[in-house]
A and B are shown apart, each in its own frame.
Chain A
């Protein structure tokens, strides 16, 4: 049973870079899945950030694209998120999730990590 676990600093200074890692256990990151980041500001809704395949192919949300890098480390079975030039608006719970697909390209997000709160503050 695949499990995901986010890790990283809970506090980042404004204009700094937010860096998070999602460790995958119970399965291989080199499977035929995409791996994704989603965030949720306190008391608000969900926002898709981006995704990566084990080959390194990525897709990003255009609203964040200029500031995002998602990378994969197959040797450690994990993937990572870097978000640069952060402001208070980037304060959120960040989730990682696995994306599975049907042969007809319908996708679904499951499982999810438990989430990690990142606060942007000086």
Chain B
């Protein structure tokens, strides 16, 4: 199975900060990666698919980039509602695998 490694595992930041989360795949997955946001007690929410395509309705402060093995999720200016856990998910081959998550906390 393809292993997805996210970094950092946790991150403290302030409202207005620019934040970057990275995800590294154990093999080339082209651009077949998505980013999901999860708040406590809630289901994950799709933010980005195909590495850089913004899901409809998601604020433009979220962006994704990368291909091959290295990917990033960037939040350009943190808002209070962005404090959550973020997961990457590779859909290049089976079994689909998630990163371990990055918990974004308020500084």
Contact = CB atoms under 8 A, between A and B. Distances in A.
B49 A48 contact: no
A112 B96 contact: no
Contact of B100 (A45, A61, A108): A45
B19 interface: no
A55 interface: no
A95 B89 CA distance: 15
Main SS class of interface, B: loop
Contacts of B3: none
Interface residues of B, number: 26
Interface residues of A, number: 23
A59 B1 CA distance: 14
Contacts, number: 63
Given A46-B87, A106-B32, A109-B89, A95 B98 contact: no
20 contacts: A45-B98, A45-B99, A46-B36, A46-B38, A46-B98, A47-B98, A61-B94, A61-B95, A102-B50, A106-B49, A106-B53, A107-B91, A107-B96, A108-B49, A108-B50, A108-B91, A109-B46, A109-B89, A110-B46, A112-B45
Interface of A: 38, 45-48, 59-63, 95, 102, 104-110, 112-115
Interface of B: 1, 31-32, 34, 36, 38, 42-46, 49-50, 53, 55, 87, 89, 91, 94-101
Given A45-B98, A59-B94, A110-B55, A105 B32 contact: yes
Contacts of A113: 43
A102 to B, nearest CB: 6
A47 B1 CA distance: 12
